[in-house]
Amino acid sequence: MPSAKEKPSSFPYAVMLAVMAMGLALATFAVYRWQHLSTGMDDARRLGVLYVMLGSDLVGLVISAACALGYTQWTIERRHLAGLPDYAAVGIGVFKGVLGFVLMFTWQMAARGLLAVYGHYAGMQLVAIVGLILGHLITVAAVMVSIWLAFSVLREQAIPASPQPIELRGRALLMFTLFAWSWLLVVAQLVAPMAMDLYRAEVDALPLVPYAASIGLVLPVFLGGLLGLPRTMPLSRPFRLWLAGTLAVLVCALTMAVVTIVMVGIGRSLGKYFVPITAFSALVAVIWFVVSTVLCWLLVKVLFRTEVPLFRDERISAAH
C-alpha cells in the first residue's frame, strides 16, 4: 500500500513573503520620500518618474520572490530539511532589506562620482544601464546571502525533513513561472524608458504598459509548465526550473519574431498594398500564443523527462 504523502514545508513561502514585505516597505518609503521631494516639479515629469519607480519596484519584488522561494527550496532539498523556525523567515526579510539598502546606497554614491567624471549623455546612459543590471544582481545577492546566513547560524535549530513523500508540483510550477516572469520584467524595464521618450505626450501611464504586457507574455510559459511538469515531483529541482524558465523565455521571444516575419511575408505576398491591421495583429498574437505554449510544453517535458538529477547538489539531495 503506497505511503500517504505529507504536506510540504511552508518555510520557503514564509521566506518569500517576508522578503516581499520588506521590499514593499522600502518601496513605499521611497515613493513617499519622492512625493515630498518633488513638490516643485512639473506634474508630467513628476508622474513619469513615479511610474518608473513603481515599475522598478515591481521588477524588484518579483525577482526577490523568485530568488527567495527558489534558493530556500534548493537549500532545504540539498540539506534534507523541512526548514527553520518561523522567526528565521522574519530575520531573513529584515537582513535582506538592510543589506540591499546598504549595497544600493554604496552604488549610488559611486554612481554620483562616475557622473561627475563622465557627465555627458553617453556616460549617463552607460551609468544608468550598469545601475539597472547591478541593482538586480544586488537584489539576488542580498536574498541569497540572507538565506545562507540564516541556515548557517541556525543550523542547530533546523527542522529535519519528514521521511514521508511530499508533492511539490504546484511549488515547482510557481517557481518556473516566477523565474520566467523575472526575465520578462527586466526586458520591460529596459523598454519602458524608450516608450516614455517616444509616446510621452499621448499616454501618461505608458511606462507601466510593458509591465502589464509581461503578464500576457508569461502565460504560454505558465501553461507549458502546467502541462509539461511531471505529475509527481518529490523534489522541485529549483536550478533546473530556473534553466527551464530562462530557455522558455528565449523560445517565446524567437517564436514571436519568426511568427511575425512569416505572417507579414504571407500578407505581403497576398496583396501589394498589404497593411497590418488590428485583426491581423490579433491573428499573429493567437498563433504565437499557441505555438509558444506547445514549444514550452515540449521544453519542459524534455528537461524533466527523467528523474536523474542534472546537477551535483540535486544528486546529493536525491541520494538522501
What would the pLDDT profile of 13-30 be if each residue is shown by its tens digit? 999 999 999 999 988 888
Specify the pLDDT at position 252.
95
Specify the pLDDT at position 315.
46
Greatest C-alpha distance within the chain: 74
Quote the DSSP letter at residue 201: T
Whether the CB-CB separation of 222 and 177 falls below 8 Å is answered with yes
Mean pLDDT of the chain: 82
**Which tens digits make up the pLDDT trace of 290-303?**
999 999 999 999 99
The H or E element containing residue 160 is: strand 159-160
User: Of 132, 1, 205, which Cα lies nearest the Cα of 124?
Assistant: 132
Specify the pLDDT at position 119.
59
**Which tens digits make up the pLDDT trace of 55-66?**
888 899 999 999
User: Of 284, 242, 307, which Cα lies nearest the Cα of 73?
Assistant: 242
Q: 312 pLDDT band (50/70/90 cuts)? A: very low
Rounded distance, CA 197 to CA 209, Å?
14
Specify the pLDDT at position 311.
42
Specify the pLDDT at position 283.
87
Specify the pLDDT at position 291.
96
52, pLDDT greater than 80: no
Specify the pLDDT at position 12.
95
201, pLDDT greater than 60: no
306, pLDDT greater than 80: no
Share above pLDDT 90 across residues of the chain, in percent, rounded to a whole number: 42
3-state helix, strand, coil in the chain (%, to 5): 80, 0, 20
Q: 232 pLDDT band (50/70/90 cuts)? A: confident
The b/e string for 227-261 (b: 16+ C-beta within 10 A; e otherwise) is: ebbeeebebbbbbbbbbbbebbbebbeebbeebbe
Rounded distance, CA 112 to CA 119, Å?
10
| Low-confidence winner among 29-43, 172-186, 258-272, 277-291 (lowest mean pLDDT) | 29-43
Rounded distance, CA 227 to CA 220, Å?
10
Specify the higher pLDDT residue, 246 or 106. Answer: 246
Specify the higher pLDDT residue, 228 or 55. Answer: 228
| Start-end of H helices in 83-208 | 86-117, 121-153, 169-199
Mean pLDDT of 125-130: 72
Rounded distance, CA 79 to CA 11, Å?
14
161 — phi, psi (to 5°)?
-75, 150
Whether the CB-CB separation of 74 and 309 falls below 8 Å is answered with no
Specify the pLDDT at position 29.
85
310, pLDDT greater than 60: no
User: Of 56, 59, 64, 58, which Cα lies nearest the Cα of 15?
Assistant: 64
Specify the pLDDT at position 153.
94
* Cell (9 digits) for 202: 499621448
| Low-confidence winner among 149-153, 157-161, 289-293 (lowest mean pLDDT) | 157-161
Q: 88 pLDDT band (50/70/90 cuts)? A: very high
Rounded distance, CA 221 to CA 294, Å?
9
**Which tens digits make up the pLDDT trace of 33-47?**
877 776 766 666 677
Specify the pLDDT at position 2.
46
Rounded distance, CA 247 to CA 252, Å?
9
Mean pLDDT of 219-227: 95
